[in-house]
């Protein structure tokens, strides 16, 4: 029924206008799935390897497609993804590219769902999924690797933690985005948009913190439920290994000072979420921060864990962080993303499913978040490639 009949690959545009990989999987019974690979700008050292799109496509056609066509069932995700791993033969997908691998993996999942006549989230998570929905984290102010001449902190994220439903949460995040714009205009501060659609004003981190705090407070009053905010500090990008210090704008901090600084922000602003507050190899620093604030906020490892179960196990052993960011293209397959989520949840870590800065209109991560009961999802707030995920969450909620 769901035997893969053919796999086609092509180069298409991502949200930055760069080429990315799109895969289509067809089954012998007429099932079909299409998926597109995203691409990161602020990438961790230990991520699976993304190849140039045309190179990834050529390699996948040579090595992966023959292992899939007529040989595996689209509805058996682990079988599909095992075939991709075998075709690549490396630990980091450097042979066929994580971008081709994840596109095929997600397309096969959609084809399997099509054959089964199920929405993707049910196909991935089972019939009882879809009853809980993630809180969307909306990137409303940004800098770092996503925008030049803006904040040193990479993302300021609206977190509508008190929203009664996913629709209200989505619209609250959009309202925070608009409120930030109005505050900037009132203060005469010109700001463009970064590559995720967040405002990128020429502000210090301290001024941006006050601005976002004001915006979320206004929106919380307007909507009648609690709206907090969080940060993606992308600290690996700010770490100078030679001096063993973090450089954020005009400020230079030791590891202990960075832990103190972040803990102080959690205290002062009631942050709901802090991602990558320390370097991607600093398990000890993550553990120190988690011990101090982990009972009040999510301390999330992105570059620290890169959706990799081996790195996550190391973090669990050292009590480093209490949350993991999950990006399927970071590890290469949906199966391995699921494995990371399962390991996280079984050890009390909160999984946060995430988009990338170079995105597409693909909505797979919305279904992945619902399928795994993830407490949060990062999608951004504006731009068609971001709102595609948010609108899909609303549709799932209406249809569940």
If one counts every other C-beta atom within 10 angstroms of the C-beta of residue 384, the result is 12
Q: Which of 196, 237, 280, 392 is catalytic?
A: 196
pTM for the complete prediction?
Answer: 0.96
Do both 219 and 178 map to the same domain?
Answer: yes
Is 130 among the domain residues?
no
399 part of the active site: no
Do both 335 and 219 map to the same domain?
Answer: yes
Query: Does residue 349 contact residue 324 with C-beta atoms inside 8 Å?
Result: yes
Per-residue pLDDT band for 1 (boundaries 50, 70, 90) equals low
Q: Please give the tally of structural domains in the chain.
A: 2
Does residue 59 or residue 39 have the better pLDDT? Answer: 59
Do both 195 and 299 map to the same domain?
Answer: yes
Is 51 among the domain residues?
yes
Is 125 among the domain residues?
no
Is 100 among the domain residues?
yes
pLDDT, position 168: 98
Q: Which CATH number goes with the domain that contains 86?
A: 3.30.390.10
Binding-site positions:
146, 154-155, 232, 275, 302, 327, 354-357, 378
Do both 265 and 174 map to the same domain?
Answer: yes
For the segment 299-315, what is each residue's pLDDT rounded down to a tens digit? 999 999 999 999 999 99
Do both 335 and 371 map to the same domain?
Answer: yes
Give dist(CA 152, CA 237) in Å, integer: 10
Is 123 among the domain residues?
no
Do both 101 and 146 map to the same domain?
Answer: no
Do both 174 and 323 map to the same domain?
Answer: yes
Is 23 among the domain residues?
yes
Name the phi and psi angles at 3, rounded to 5: -65, 135
Instruction: Check whether 388 has a pLDDT greater than 80.
Output: yes
Do both 88 and 209 map to the same domain?
Answer: no
Counts of helices then strands in the chain (DSSP H, E): 14, 16
If one counts every other C-beta atom within 10 angstroms of the C-beta of residue 113, the result is 22
Q: What percent of the chain has pLDDT over 70?
A: 97
Q: Which CATH number goes with the domain that contains 275?
A: 3.20.20.120
Q: Which of 67, 85, 117 is the last residue of a domain?
A: 117
Mean predicted confidence (pLDDT) in 338-357: 97
Do both 203 and 255 map to the same domain?
Answer: yes
268 part of the active site: no
Do both 223 and 301 map to the same domain?
Answer: yes
For the segment 268-292, what is each residue's pLDDT rounded down to a tens digit? 999 999 999 999 999 999 999 999 9
pLDDT, position 177: 98
Q: Which of 179, 327, 336, 359 is catalytic?
A: 327
Is 194 among the domain residues?
yes
List the domain range (segments joined by +) for residue 272.
135-399
Binding-site positions for substrate:
146, 155, 275, 302, 354-357, 378
Strand residue runs (E) in 67-218: 135-142, 155-159, 192-193, 199-200
Give the DSSP letter string of 46-96: TSPPPPPHHHHHHHHHHHTHHHHTTTSBTT-HHHHHHHHHHHH-SSS-TTT
pLDDT, position 147: 65
Binding-site positions for (2R)-2-phosphoglycerate:
154, 327, 356-357, 378
For the segment 65-98, what is each residue's pLDDT rounded down to a tens digit? 999 999 999 999 999 999 999 999 999 999 999 9
Do both 111 and 143 map to the same domain?
Answer: no
Q: Which of 85, 117, 149 is the last residue of a domain?
A: 117
Q: Which of 117, 149, 173 is the last residue of a domain?
A: 117
Do both 94 and 155 map to the same domain?
Answer: no
Per-residue pLDDT band for 375 (boundaries 50, 70, 90) equals very high
pLDDT, position 42: 61
Mean predicted confidence (pLDDT) in 254-278: 98
The shares of helix, strand and coil residues in the chain, as percent rounded to the nearest 5, are 45, 20, 35
Does residue 329 or residue 399 have the better pLDDT? Answer: 329
For the segment 105-149, what is each residue's pLDDT rounded down to a tens digit? 999 999 999 999 999 999 999 865 656 899 999 999 998 776 667
Q: Which two tokens stand for residue 254?
A: 């030791």
pLDDT, position 150: 81
Is 144 among the domain residues?
yes
Per-residue pLDDT band for 262 (boundaries 50, 70, 90) equals very high
């Amino acid at each position: 029924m769901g035997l893969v009949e053919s796999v086609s690959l092509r180069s298409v545009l991502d949200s930055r206008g760069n080429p990315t990989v799109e895969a289509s999987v067809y089954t012998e019974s007429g099932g079909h799935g299409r998926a597109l690979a995203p691409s990161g700008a602020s990438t961790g050292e230990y991520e699976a390897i993304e190849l140039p799109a045309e190179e990834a496509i050529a390699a996948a056609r040579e090595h992966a497609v023959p292992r899939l066509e007529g040989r595996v069932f689209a509805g058996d995700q682990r079988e599909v993804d095992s075939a991709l791993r075998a075709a690549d033969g490396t630990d980091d997908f450097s042979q066929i590219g994580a971008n081709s691998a994840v596109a095929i993996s997600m397309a096969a999942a959609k084809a399997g769902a099509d054959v089964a006549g199920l929405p993707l989230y049910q196909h991935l998570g089972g019939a009882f999924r879809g009853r809980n929905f993630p809180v969307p984290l909306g990137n409303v102010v940004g800098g770092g690797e996503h925008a030049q001449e803006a904040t040193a902190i990479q993302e300021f994220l609206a977190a509508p933690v008190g929203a009664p439903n996913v629709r209200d949460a989505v619209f609250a995040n959009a309202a925070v985005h608009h409120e930030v714009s109005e505050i900037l205009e009132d203060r005469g501060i010109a700001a463009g948009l970064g590559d995720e659609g967040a405002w990128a004003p020429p502000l210090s981190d301290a001024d941006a913190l006050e601005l976002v705090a004001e915006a979320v407070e206004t929106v919380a009053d307007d909507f009648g439920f609690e709206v907090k905010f969080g940060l993606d500090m992308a600290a690996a990008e700010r770490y100078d290994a030679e001096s063993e210090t973090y450089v954020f704008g005009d400020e230079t901090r030791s590891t202990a000072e960075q832990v103190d600084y972040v803990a102080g922000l959690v205290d002062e602003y009631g942050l709901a979420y802090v991602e990558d507050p320390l370097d991607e190899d600093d398990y000890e620093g993550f553990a120190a921060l988690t011990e101090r604030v982990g009972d009040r906020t999510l301390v999330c490892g992105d570059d620290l864990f890169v959706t990799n179960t081996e790195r996550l196990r190391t973090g669990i052993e050292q009590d480093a962080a209490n949350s993991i960011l999950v990006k399927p293209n970071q590890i290469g397959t949906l199966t391995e993303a699921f494995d990371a989520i399962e390991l996280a949840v079984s050890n009390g870590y909160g999984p946060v499913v995430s988009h990338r800065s170079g995105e597409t209109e693909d909505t797979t991560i919305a279904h992945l978040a619902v399928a795994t009961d993830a407490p949060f999802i990062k999608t951004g707030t504006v731009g068609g490639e971001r709102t595609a995920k948010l609108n899909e969450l609303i549709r799932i909620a209406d249809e569940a």
